[in-house]
Structure formats: structure tokens, C-alpha cells
Chains A and B, each alone.
Chain A
Amino acid sequence: MSTNRRLTRNKRLLTIGASIVAMGTLASCASSGGGDADGQTTITVLGYTAIFEDNFTQAVIEGFEAQHPEYNVEYVPSQNSAEMLGKLRSEASNPTVDVAILDQSVANTGIQEGVFAQLDEAAVPNLANVVDMGLNAEGYGPAMTFDNLVLLVNPEEAPEEISSIQDLWDAPDNSVAIPAAPDIQGIALTALTANNLGADYQEDIQPAIDELALLQPKVTSWDPQPDVYQTVTSGSAQYAVGWNARGQVFSDQSDGRLQVVQPDDGIAFQVNTINMVEGTENAEGAQAFIDYTLSKESQESFSSAMFYAPTVKNAELPEEVQARVADPQDPNIVEIDWIWMADQRDAWTDLWRRTVIGG
């Protein structure tokens, strides 16, 4: 009798539970408008355009969709992080985006403006595997990729090999391309220069600025177009600084005209974080997607495709990939506090314009 009663009760609970789930699904479908005819939910992801989009779609999104057939990912490409924040700002009251992948310092501005939401650790179990420097202290989006500043060389046009940031000061006139501040490549270069001079970039940046001003005659462009990789590949500049990931990808396509050199006098990391947008109707799907991007499988596959350093401890890269990706444990790393930097970017940009470029 009692077993029987318990059974009926369980049955009733089950029915209620099922109805709640069904209602929830229905509600989410109706409100997000993302429900497909076959019951799929759409997750909208905002990220970088061009090769990032291509590789991310192949190496990550396709894997996620295979593992989670209930979701369908729509990728919205954007030129840069600031543009992404602009879009998120303008639709803050009615977000169309669930997840955004963008630079850490810009993401931090977004966090302060309340554009992003904190993650639920239970919904993103892979957070446990993220390395310490990739975690946000308040539980916002973690690092999804690490990249680092590298030297780019066109071996056919360049008169000499270079191995360090310092070597740029010995380059011939009009041979170097540097994306100047406010571009974060210029900002990172400033920090590395300060480090080479034995200064703490958070204390006094003037010596580094003065040093960079000496580069003026060497530099052909402070704003390489269409980007620094094409500028070197085409020979418009013989040397440049750029990011490792794109440098490696373009190097493979360059027929030997673009060579990536890891500087032996300092590694500066750039961090892309993956964030859930505040006010998303689809927090569950968003977090499922974020969790997948932090999985061993996704991290390994995206790193192999685009040479970003993985941000999780359990990722293991094939040796030939590992050799072309900076190791977060590298002793050469100059740690840059991008959140501190977000405040300084304006001031540093002013110094660049007045002293480095204008000087």
C-alpha cells in the first residue's frame, strides 16, 4: 500500500516536473524567439571577424553543436573589442547577444557598466580547470584564449634577423610597422620596453616612452593597413610587432614571406575572455556554451587551429603546435595587469601621440 502510494506520488511529481520543464522551454522559446522548428535554442555569440570567426566556427562551434543538438549557435562578427562593447552598450536594455568574446580590458569596462553577468560555477564546471591568471575574481567571464606579442619579419626583404624587441632599435629607417596606442599592441610594447629598461610600467612610463620615441625614424607606419601581417608579408614593412596567433596562421599562408619570432626579452600576454551578457534570456545555453569553450577538447582544437595558448590546465597540445604557442608558465613573461591598464590607456595614448609619434 505504502509503496503503491509512494509510486503514485512519484508519478505525480514527475508529471509536474515534466510540465514545468515543458513550460520553461516553451517560455524560453517564446521570449528569446530563438526556438527553431525542431525545438533547438539559438545561442548568439559575438566575437572577432575574419580568420577568428572561420577557425572558431570550425574548431569550437561545430563541436559544441554536435555535442548539444538542442542548441544552435549563431556567430555575430565584429571588427574589434571596442566595437563589441559599443554594440552591447547600445542594446543593454534588450540584448540580442548571449555570449561575447572580447579583450580582457574592454570586457572589464563592460563589467563595470553592468553589461556582463556573473557565471554560475555549477553551470560552468570547466571553470575549475582554468589557470589562475585566467580567472575573474568576481566570477565574471574567464579567459578563453591567451595570445602574446611577437616580432614579425619578412625574411626575404629584411636585411638582418632579429630575436628581441630591443633589436627593433637597430632596424633600418622606414622598415618597421607598429600598431600604435591606443591599439593594445602598442600598449603591450610600451610595457615590454619599460621592462627592458628595468622600470616598472605601473610606476613610471616616461623612460619607456622616451625610448620608443627613438624608434620614430625606423617606423614606416604607426597604423599598418589593412593589418600588420599583410604589411610585412607584402614587404611594405620588413619588421613589425603583432600577435602570435594571427601571425602563425598568416605565416602558414604566406609562402615563407612572414616569419614569427618569439622575442627573447619578454613575453606579454593578451587575454580574450568569454562573457555572458547581462539580461540574456538564455543563461542556461550561454553557460553551456562557455563551459564547452573551456573544455579540454575545445581548447585543444582551437589552439591547434589558431595557435592561441590554452587557458585550461588539462589541455595538451601536439608538440608541433606547442612549439609555436607561448607557455603561460614561461619565465620570460612580463605580467601585464590589463584591468589596471584599462584606466591608463588614455594617458598612454596621449604620451604616444605627443612624444612617440609626434616627437
Chain B
Amino acid sequence: MVTLQTTQLRTGGLPVKEKRSAKQRAGTLGLILPGSIGLFVGFVLPLIVMIRMSFNQHGTGGQLVETLTFENYGRALSDPFYWQVIGNTLWLGLLCGGLAVILAYPIALFLTRTTSKWKGVLIALAIAPLLTSAVARTYGWIAILGDQGIINGFLMDTGLLSGPIRLNNDMPGVIIALVEILMPYAILAMISGFGRLNNSLEEAAGTLGASRFKVFMRVTLPLTLPGVFTGFLLVFVLSISSFVTPRLMGGGRVFILATEVYNEATQTLNWPLASALSVILLILFGLLVAGYQQLTKRFED
């Protein structure tokens, strides 16, 4: 009450208060504007151009014909090959997301729990790979997984294999490399998502008679699931949109939407189809992410 009175006294009534909030609004607008302009020029405009492009026609000899047609969508959606590409892309995302989360989970749990004075250093080490470019790390995996690479070399030297198995230049190599490359993201997402977990909750469950396994299933896992979901979603999204690793390690055998879009855009020069595929990718995974978020929200409640 007292504060309200003094405020009114100082500002001379309500109109001034409104003026101040208008000023505040202007300030908020001023802060939002640069980012919004950047987003509009860098994302919204190109998106509009791309969507428009997807209704153009791919004429004879790769000619670009400005028109308004759905034939690119028709072609993409009626052709089993593109359905397979969409399927491959989804599969790659699910597998990489799943594997990255499984591998990163114990690490993230350890990093969250450790009371070591090196905790900061350990976390930095876990995410340090992000400081190296994905291209460099992909070439590293090529060296490891290649026919004369470390793994095949070891398997052949020890006589377990007579000839090299194809790890590089196919889906397995792409998955191995992508999982490793994207794992730091999963670790980061999980560490930040494990906030609700604390030692005394697990200890409390222990004193109440829960074995280690039951503590994990009933307390640790449910409390860390939001972090797991975020980590999975992040790796899933990053792998379905990944291009460099599938391209460098796929050996031309891995057909996913990103490489297809690249091929259509830069090799066959079929920009309308490339745009249509991009729009399909956008819609498909926009829906997936939205559905996923609904699901996790329901779970968290």
C-alpha cells in the first residue's frame, strides 16, 4: 500500500506509469529487433525463396522454368526411392540419437555426480571434441575405419578376418562417426537436463529398501529422462540434417535427404526438386519434433 502511494505521488498518477511501460516496450523492441532482422534476412527470406522455388519446373537440359506446379512434390512423394531416402534419414536419426544417448548417459551421469575438483576440467574434456571441426574428425574416422585402417588392420593381423570388412564408405561408418561426433552434444544436453537429480534422492530410495537397480529404475532414470529426451532430440535433429559426415563417409551408398538435396542442387541442377525435398524435410521433421515435444511434456507432467 505504502509503496503504491509513493509511486503515484512521484509519477503523478497512472498516465505516467503507462508512459514508462511504453518506454519499456520500446526498449524490449530495441533489443529484439537486431536479432529479428537477422533472422528475417538470414532465415525467413531464404525460406520463402526456397518454398517458391519448389513450385518451379525442371525443364529440359536442367533448365529452370518459372511456373507454379506441384509436380516436384508429386515426383518426390510418388517415387519409392524418395520414400526410402526419407526412411533412411529417419533411421539414421533414430539410431544415432539412440546410440549417442546410450553411450553418453553414463558419462553425463558421472560428470553430474562427481565431486572431484577436476569436474570442470572433465566436463571441458568431454565436450572438447566440439572445438575440432566435424570434417577433421570425419577424416579421422576414415583413417580408423578404412580398409587399411586401424580396425581392419587389427582384425586382419590377428587373423580374425581374411579380408577387410567394409566399415567406411557405407552406413555403418557414417553411424559410428556421427555418433562420436554428436555425442558431446548429448552429454551437454544431458548434464543440463539432470538438474533434478541429486545424491540424497538416490540415498533416500536406498534407505527405503530399494536395491541399486531399483534405485536406478524408479528414481535415477525417471529424474534424468527429461535430459535424455533433450539429448536424443538434439542428436536426432543434428544427424538427420547432417551432411558432411554422410557425404565423406557414405561412399555414395548412403542416400539421405541432406545428400539428396545437395546432389539435386549442385550436381543435377534440379533446384525445384531440391527445394521440394527441403520443404518435405522441414515439414516432416517439424511435425516429428512437435509431436516429440508434446510427448515429453506429457511425460514430465
Chain A interface residues toward B at CB < 8 A? 79-80, 82-83, 85-86, 89, 105-106, 108-109, 112-113, 173-174, 179-180, 182-183, 220-223, 225, 235-236, 339, 342-343, 345-346, 349-350, 353-354, 357
Contacts and interface: CB of A to CB of B under 8 A. Distances in A.
B50 to A, nearest CB: 13
B16 to A, nearest CB: 53
A345 B62 contact: yes
Contacts of B271: 86
Contacts of B270: 346
Contact of A223 (B58, B64, B164, B250): B250
Interface stretch (B95-103, B140-148, B179-187, B200-208): B140-148
Contacts of A82: 265-269
A353 B81 contact: yes
Contact of B62 (A106, A225, A235): A106
Contacts of B62: 106, 109, 342, 345
Given A108-B61, A343-B61, A83 B266 contact: yes
B252 interface: yes
Nearest to A89: B64
A339 B61 CA distance: 8
Q: Which of B146, B248, B267 has the most CB of A within 10 A?
A: B267
Nearest to A344: B61
Contacts, number: 83
A113 B271 CA distance: 14
B13 interface: no
B229 interface: no
A66 to B, nearest CB: 36
23 contacts: A82-B269, A86-B265, A86-B269, A86-B271, A109-B62, A112-B59, A174-B166, A179-B252, A182-B268, A220-B251, A221-B169, A221-B251, A222-B251, A222-B253, A223-B247, A225-B247, A236-B146, A236-B148, A346-B270, A349-B268, A353-B255, A354-B81, A357-B252
Sorted nearest first, the 3 A-B pairs with minimum C-beta distance are A222-B252, A223-B252, A221-B251
A89 to B, nearest CB: 7
A346 B250 contact: no
Given A236-B147, A349-B268, A221 B64 contact: no
Contacts of A83: 266
Contacts of B249: 225
Interface string B245-289: 001111111010000000101111111000000000000000000
Given A106-B62, A343-B61, A346-B270, A220 B252 contact: no
Interface string B127-145: 0000000000000001000
B6 interface: no
Interface of B: 58-64, 81, 142, 146-148, 163-164, 166, 169, 247-253, 255, 263, 265-271
A174 B263 CA distance: 24
Nearest to A352: B252
A85 B269 contact: yes
A25 B70 CA distance: 49
Nearest to A186: B252
Contacts of B263: 182, 349
A225 B267 contact: no
Q: Which of B58, B146, B247, B253 has the most CB of A within 10 A?
A: B253
Contacts of B61: 105, 108-109, 112, 339, 342-343
A84 to B, nearest CB: 10
A88 to B, nearest CB: 11
A105 to B, nearest CB: 8
B251 to A, nearest CB: 4
Contacts of B148: 235-236
A182 B147 CA distance: 26
B46 to A, nearest CB: 12
A329 B75 CA distance: 43
A105 B267 CA distance: 12
Contacts of B266: 79-80, 82-83, 86
Contacts of B255: 353
A80 B59 CA distance: 21
Nearest to A354: B81
B164 A174 contact: yes
Contacts of A183: 267
